[in-house]
């Protein structure tokens, strides 16, 4: 009998702490799959950010550096410059990357650092209890926008994958979702493509992943999954926004 589906080598054989219906587990798996695909697990250095994803060293069987909130792209810059032959990625949430860490992500991307950034957008601060994030949709109620996000006071949700496309140093930027088997398969291809850019030394690559946070959205996993398709994708369209082989 042949085993056709198994846990990626780059993931540890442990249970995660993530809530039921959270998409971090699926996204971790896709990242691990891409590491396995290119055989880079043994030379990968991951940079963990602050938020629910900080524990990634507990799940990925790789060397990891923990960064202060929002600073992962700067930490990863130091890592990559010191060890240019290693594979380096950051894994950051929306509060981390699109609010407190905007300076770090914009400039690491603009310098064209040879690294890959995984950006998990679930429209809320998960770890701290569901506060308003820079990606919170207009009208969305959170613990710090109890009347719903008000465009006139809170601004509009930031589309980071598109912002990245404007920067000269970015070679590849895309947005994917993992709410359906079809989207997961597409996300797997995109993740591998983003990794390929770094493996081949082609510059900065960025993957935004739309993710569900049932606990802080106050929804059951199925309803949260449906919200990704019905509310998030219409505002955060899926696709590849830039693809430059020679960046």
- Residues making contact with other proteins (CB under 8 A): 41-45, 47-48, 54, 57, 61-68, 71, 74-83, 86-87, 103-104, 106-107, 111
Q: Closer CB to other proteins, residue 10 or residue 215?
A: 10
- Residue 78 Cβ vs other proteins, minimum distance, rounded to whole Å: 3
Q: Closer CB to other proteins, residue 19 or residue 226?
A: 19
Q: Closer CB to other proteins, residue 42 or residue 180?
A: 42
- Residue 109 Cβ vs other proteins, minimum distance, rounded to whole Å: 11
End-to-end CA, the chain: 45
- Residue 194 Cβ vs other proteins, minimum distance, rounded to whole Å: 19
Q: Closer CB to other proteins, residue 42 or residue 156?
A: 42
- Residue 192 Cβ vs other proteins, minimum distance, rounded to whole Å: 19
């Amino acid at each position: 009998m042949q085993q056709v589906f198994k846990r990626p080598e780059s993931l540890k054989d442990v249970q995660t702490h993530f809530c039921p219906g959270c998409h971090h587990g699926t996204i971790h798996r896709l990242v691990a799959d891409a590491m396995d695909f290119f055989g880079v697990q043994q030379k990968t250095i991951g940079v963990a950010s602050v938020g629910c994803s900080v524990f990634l060293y507990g799940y990925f069987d790789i060397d990891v550096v923990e960064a202060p909130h929002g600073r992962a792209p700067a930490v990863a810059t130091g890592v990559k410059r010191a060890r240019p032959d290693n594979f380096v990625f950051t894994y950051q949430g929306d509060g981390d990357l699109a609010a407190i860490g905007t300076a770090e992500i914009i400039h690491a991307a603009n310098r064209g650092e040879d690294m890959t950034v995984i950006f998990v957008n679930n429209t809320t601060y998960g770890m701290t209890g569901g506060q308003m994030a820079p990606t919170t949709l207009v009208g969305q109620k959170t613990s710090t926008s109890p009347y719903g996000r008000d465009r006139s006071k809170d601004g509009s949700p930031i589309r980071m994958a598109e912002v990245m496309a404007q920067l000269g140093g970015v070679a590849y930027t895309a947005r994917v979702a993992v709410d359906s088997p079809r989207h997961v398969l597409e996300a797997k291809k995109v993740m591998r493509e983003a990794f390929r850019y770094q493996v081949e030394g082609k510059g900065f690559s960025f993957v935004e992943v739309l993710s569900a946070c049932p606990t802080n959205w106050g929804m059951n996993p199925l309803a949260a999954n449906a919200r990704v398709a019905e509310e998030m994708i219409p505002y955060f369209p899926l696709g590849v926004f830039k693809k430059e082989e020679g960046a």
